[in-house]
Amino acid sequence: MGSETIVLAAVWYVAFLLSLTCHEAAHAWVARKAGDPTAYEAGQVTLNPIPHMRREPIGTIVAPLITFFANGFMLGWASAPYDPRWRQLYPKRAAWMALAGPTANFVLVILCIVAIRIGLLLGAFTIPASLVFSHMVSAAGGGLAEGLAQFVSILFSLNLMLGAFNLLPLPPLDGATAIGLILSDSMALRLAAFTRNPTFSLIGILVAWQVFGKLAGPIFRAGAALLYPEAYPL
């Protein structure tokens, strides 16, 4: 295992942890504002990744490192606790809480776009000849700019995909709860009861993975168009 692989793994892991931490902290913050202090009391309204790692060590440490060294990219998960009784009493509030996680990911995407465009204006970055997940922008020189270009590339792509994946309306993904915003309270409650079954969550993940495999290409192209509308128009 070379030093370049170790450095790349470190860059990936920082971007991965930042993405998951922002996602879960957003869930926890909105839940507290909406009347459920469960995640707040567990210490998860924070951008410190340690509480999130303690809650899900397999999803935040073991799984991402295994998938990186096996496949060259990181997969994992985290979670924020909530009170099921609160969700039953306030299904619309729970839907906003669910939507907060993907929203945080898309905010990070926007921040990456701003950083990349500023880098282009300053001459630190250039638009690469072809775009791939971990190479959305090139550094004009070496050193710090090169490391920053790789980090912001991974952060952009990772959050674009993480936000979109979690919006799929399948349990246990956030979209299965967020869809309650367009349903009546009674329908949202029935959906919540249906999705609490662990069997449906397993089926939902398997189906979501298959569906997202067909959506990932168009989503990536849409992200490229947002980043470089002059080079990749929709």
Report how far residue 31's alpha carbon sits from residue 38's, in angstroms, rounded to the nearest whole number.
8
Which residues, in sequence order, are CB contacts of 192 under 8 Å at separation 6+? 87, 88, 91, 94, 177, 180
Which run of H or E residues covers position 210? Answer: helix 198-227
44 neighbors 25 (Cβ within 8 angstroms):
yes
What distance, in Å, lies between the first and last C-alpha atoms of the chain?
40
Length of the chain: 234
State how far the alpha carbon of 151 is from the alpha carbons of 8, 60, 158, in Å. Answer: 9, 18, 10
Cα separation, 20 vs 39, in Å, equals 15
Q: Are 181 and 96 in contact (CB under 8 A)?
A: yes
From the list 133, 172, 169, the residue with the least C-alpha distance to 152 is 133
As annotated, the active-site residues are: 24
